[in-house]
């Protein structure tokens, strides 16, 4: 199979080389970052979860300020839209402040909310798969998926702390492995 960048086009060899070099750098840096984050999650799961929660809290504070700016500085916004933007801004700012005041408790609360969402989502996905059986090309696989999804959702809801720990560690391992693959890809991309 030919390389799409090798086909005659307006792309010069210099442009192709520069694009390939940029891609290698992006893959390498992204891979290195994934390896570092994955290792941090795996080696220090609690501390890394708190750091992620604090990053989200900082995002909430900044987002809240922007919502307030939009609410009060944007011309042509309806009263309802202004109220909605202002309320969103206040909620985001309050959530961010609370998270910074209680990092450990906020991390547990955030993890609990995410896990409950995942568990409920998996149950709904399973139910949706069962209700759409007549549209499935393979009913057996659809039923299998539905059963696994519903059971996984129930398991997550019955043991949210264990589920959070397992999924957090899975994320760390996944990031580490994906990072290694990206770094290897960065070094071998021009050999394809």
Chain segment 110-150, per-residue pLDDT in tens: 999 999 999 999 999 999 999 999 998 899 999 999 999 99
What pLDDT sits at residue 192?
Answer: 57
Question: Residue 77: which residues within 8 A CB-CB, separation 6 or more?
Answer: 70, 71, 85
CB atoms near residue 32 (< 10 Å): 15
Q: For residue 104, what pLDDT band results from cuts at 50, 70 and 90?
A: very high
pTM: 0.70
At 9, is the pLDDT very low, low, confident or very high (cuts 50, 70, 90)? Answer: low
Q: Is the pLDDT of residue 5 over 60?
A: no
Query: How many structural domains does the chain have?
Result: 1
What pLDDT does 58 receive? 96
Alpha-carbon gap, residue 122 to 94, rounded angstroms: 30
- Minimum mean pLDDT among 13-22, 38-47, 57-66: which range? 13-22
> Does any domain span residue 9?
no
- Answer for the pair 157, 120: CB distance below 8 angstroms, yes or no: yes
Q: Is residue 172 part of a domain?
A: yes
pLDDT of residue 29: 93
pLDDT at 20: 81
Residue pair 96/58 in contact (Cβ under 8 Å)? The answer is yes
Secondary structure letter of residue 133 according to DSSP: G
42 within a domain of the structure (yes/no): yes
Distance CA 157, CA 159 (A): 6
In a domain, 95, yes or no: yes
Tell me whether residue 167 is in a domain: yes
- Residue 13: predicted pLDDT: 77
pLDDT band at 164 (very low <50, low <70, confident <90, very high): very high
Using one digit for the tens of pLDDT, what is the confidence trace for 46-103?
Answer: 999 999 999 999 999 999 999 999 999 988 889 999 999 999 999 999 999 999 999 9
Residue at 111 is within a domain: yes
Q: What is the DSSP letter of 189?
A: G
pLDDT reading at 1 higher than 70: no
For residue 88, give its domain range. 15-191
Q: Is the pLDDT of residue 7 over 70?
A: no
* Token digits of residue 1: 């199979």
Secondary structure letter of residue 77 according to DSSP: -
On whether the CB atoms of residues 96 and 61 are closer than 8 A, the answer is yes
Residue 5 lies in a domain: no
Q: Is residue 184 part of a domain?
A: yes
**Longest CA pairwise span in the chain (Å):** 59
């Amino acid at each position: 199979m030919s390389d799409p960048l090798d086909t005659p086009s307006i792309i010069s060899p210099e442009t192709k080389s520069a694009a390939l070099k940029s891609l290698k750098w992006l893959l390498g840096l992204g891979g290195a970052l994934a390896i570092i984050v994955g290792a941090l999650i795996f080696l220090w799961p609690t501390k890394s979860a708190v750091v992620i929660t604090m990053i989200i809290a900082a995002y909430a504070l900044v987002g809240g300020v922007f919502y307030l700016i939009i609410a009060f500085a944007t011309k042509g916004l309806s009263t309802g839209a202004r109220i909605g933007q202002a309320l969103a801004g206040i909620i985001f700012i309050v959530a961010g402040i609370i998270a910074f005041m209680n990092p450990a408790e906020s991390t547990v609360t955030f993890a609990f909310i995410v896990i409950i969402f995942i568990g409920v989502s998996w149950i709904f996905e399973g139910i949706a798969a069962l209700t759409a059986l007549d549209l499935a090309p393979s009913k057996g696989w659809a039923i299998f998926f539905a059963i696994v999804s519903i059971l996984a959702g129930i398991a997550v809801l019955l043991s949210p702390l264990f589920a959070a720990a397992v999924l957090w560690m899975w994320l760390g391992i996944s990031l580490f492995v994906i990072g290694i693959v990206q770094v290897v890809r960065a070094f071998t991309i021009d050999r394809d």
